[in-house]
């Protein structure tokens, strides 16, 4: 089997925050009734983290569950485990009105690290990123300049961001520009 390759092959740049494209991450879209016990068990069984409430995102290392919409979850796990996880979840949800789809290769994942990480995203997304309004454990789907994206915090000064793979270079260039040295705003 061929090796999975991420969109930008781990491109990184240093500004007042560090922006780095991450290696392949397994991502599974799960749609269904999020109040259903079968859906909850299928998601938590594979991800191994607590079930997220509205706009919550629980991430531990490469594993995580993110609330994407009232009927959609994103399950994150190591890339190699995806085929087995899809099979497990599909089996667990037989008879349940639901959808399980491997979307790992449709996405690009970025990590923005450093004290200025909030500022980098605040320049690009119409989102209140003050520490009081956005904290670890939350996810926000929004736009980054002209393309859709979603981000959450993996630590006090670390954001993880996903976008479509087809716009990975565009998003990397945006983040690089927003994090360019000398562009600090110092608002947060």
Partner 1 sequence: MLILHCPHCGVDAEETELAPGGEAHLKRFGPGSSDAEFESYLFHRENPRGVHFERWRHAFGCGKWFIAARATDTLEVFGTYRAQTAAPPQDIRDAITAKRPGWAWRDLA
Where on the chain is the footprint of partner 1 (CB under 8 A)?
A: 54-55, 68-70, 72, 126, 140-143, 148
In whole angstroms, the minimum distance from the beta carbon of 50 to partner 1 comes to 19
Q: Which is nearer to partner 1, 142 or 187 (CB)?
A: 142
In whole angstroms, the minimum distance from the beta carbon of 72 to partner 1 comes to 8
In whole angstroms, the minimum distance from the beta carbon of 68 to partner 1 comes to 7
Q: Which is nearer to partner 1, 126 or 186 (CB)?
A: 126
Q: By the 8 A CB rule, do 43 and 30 touch?
A: yes
Q: Which is nearer to partner 1, 54 or 130 (CB)?
A: 54
CA distance 43 to 53: 13
Partnered with residue 161 across adjacent β-strands are 110, 151
Q: Which is nearer to partner 1, 111 or 140 (CB)?
A: 140
Dihedral, CA atoms, 165, 88, 74, 134, nearest 10 degrees? -130
């Amino acid at each position: 089997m061929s090796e999975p390759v991420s969109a930008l092959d781990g491109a990184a740049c240093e500004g007042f925050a560090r922006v780095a494209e991450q290696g392949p991450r397994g991502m599974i879209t799960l749609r269904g009734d999020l109040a259903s016990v079968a859906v909850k068990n299928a998601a938590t069984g594979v991800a191994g983290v607590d079930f997220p409430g509205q706009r919550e995102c629980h991430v531990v290392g490469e594993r995580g569950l993110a609330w994407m919409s009232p009927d959609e979850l994103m399950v994150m796990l190591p890339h190699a485990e995806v085929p087995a996880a899809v099979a497990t979840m599909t089996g667990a949800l037989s008879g349940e009105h639901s959808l399980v789809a491997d979307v790992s290769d449709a996405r690009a994942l970025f990590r923005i690290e450093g004290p200025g990480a909030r500022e980098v995203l605040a320049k690009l997304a119409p989102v209140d990123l003050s520490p009081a309004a956005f904290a670890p454990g939350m996810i926000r789907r929004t736009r980054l300049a002209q393309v859709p994206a979603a981000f959450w915090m993996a630590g006090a000064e670390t954001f993880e961001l996903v976008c479509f793979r087809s716009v990975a270079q565009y998003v990397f260039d945006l983040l690089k520009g927003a994090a360019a040295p000398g562009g600090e705003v110092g608002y947060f």
